Structures are given as C-alpha cells and as structure tokens.
Amino acid sequence: MKKATPGDPEPLVVPARRGLFHVIDATRYSLAGMRRLARESAARLEFLAAGGAALGFLWRGAEPWHWAALVALVALVLAIEAINTALEILVDRVSPEWSLMAKEAKDLGSLAVGLMLLVSAGFVALVMTGVI
C-alpha cells in the first residue's frame, strides 16, 4: 500500500487492527459519528424532544420500565437518523445531480426516521396520559 501524498484525492484505507485496538478504534469511529450526527438539525431536535420527554416522565412519575423503553426508543431514533444521514451523504456523492432514484432513496430514509418518531411519540403519549 502506498503512502498518501499531498494532493491525493482520497485518503488511503488503513487496514483494521485486531483485538483491543479494534475496539478502541471502533469506539473512536462511533464518537466521530456522534459528532457528525450532532451537526444535523434533525438530530438536535430529536435530542431536544428526548429531553422534553424525560422532563414529562419526571413530572408524571414514570416507572423504571418506562424509562428503559424511552432510552431504547431514543437510541433507535438516533440510530435510524444516523443511517439516514449516511444514506443522504452517499446519495449526494454518487448522484450529485437530481435523479428520481436519488430522491426515492432519500425519501425512504426519511420515512424510516418518521415511522420511528411516530412510534416513540406514541409511547410517550401513552405514558403521559397514564394509559400504560
């Protein structure tokens, strides 16, 4: 594998390390992904909504399983948002011009986030109204 030189269009791929170093590298990549996701306004709004739900749960006196479910749902929303963001970045790279396929790919990613938000909001509403 040749070394990267100034002016190279893309950095070279570094082979994955093994063992504990692999875990350390994966953690660094995940944290970099979280920093990237935090630049998305949708993700910041989802964090804000999660904070609002937590305040509502405190006010309502939610049970421990409600809290566990909320944490899981917030994690799922952010995971799907991260996948959607990655999809949008890749689509923009592969198809910088407008295309129907690119639009549909982005629309499907948006649908995935929207459905997860509906499920999460429904759960929060059920807890806040005392139904569960």
Read off the CATH number of the domain in which 76 is found: 1.10.287.3610
pLDDT at 114 over 70: yes
34 falls within a domain:
no
Give the rounded distance of the alpha carbon of 87 from its chain centre: 11
DSSP 108: H
The reply to whether 35 falls in a domain is: no
pLDDT per position as a tens digit, 18-75: 999 999 999 999 999 999 999 999 999 999 999 999 999 999 999 999 999 999 999 9
Residue 6 belongs to a domain: no
Q: What is the domain count for the chain?
A: 1
Residue 116 lies in a domain: yes
In a domain, 22, yes or no: no
Secondary element (H or E) of residue 16: none
Residue 38 has what DSSP assignment?
Answer: T
Amino acid sitting at position 88: E
The CA distance from 110 to 12, in Å, is 31
Annotated binding site for substrate: 42-46, 81, 110
Taking a C-beta distance cutoff of 8 angstroms, is the pair 73, 86 a contact?
A: no
- Which of 63, 81, 97, 104 is catalytic? The answer is 81
User: To which H or E segment does residue 3 belong?
Assistant: none
Question: Is 36 part of any domain?
Answer: no
Question: Residues comprising the binding site for ATP?
Answer: 29, 40, 88, 106-107
CB 84 within 8 Å of CB 112: yes
81 is catalytic: yes
Residue 10 lies inside a defined structural domain of this protein: no
d(CA 119, CA 2): 49
CB 43, CB 78: distance < 8 Å: yes
Share of the chain above pLDDT 90, in %: 88
**Within-domain flag for 95:** yes
Residue ranges making up the domain that contains 117: 41-128
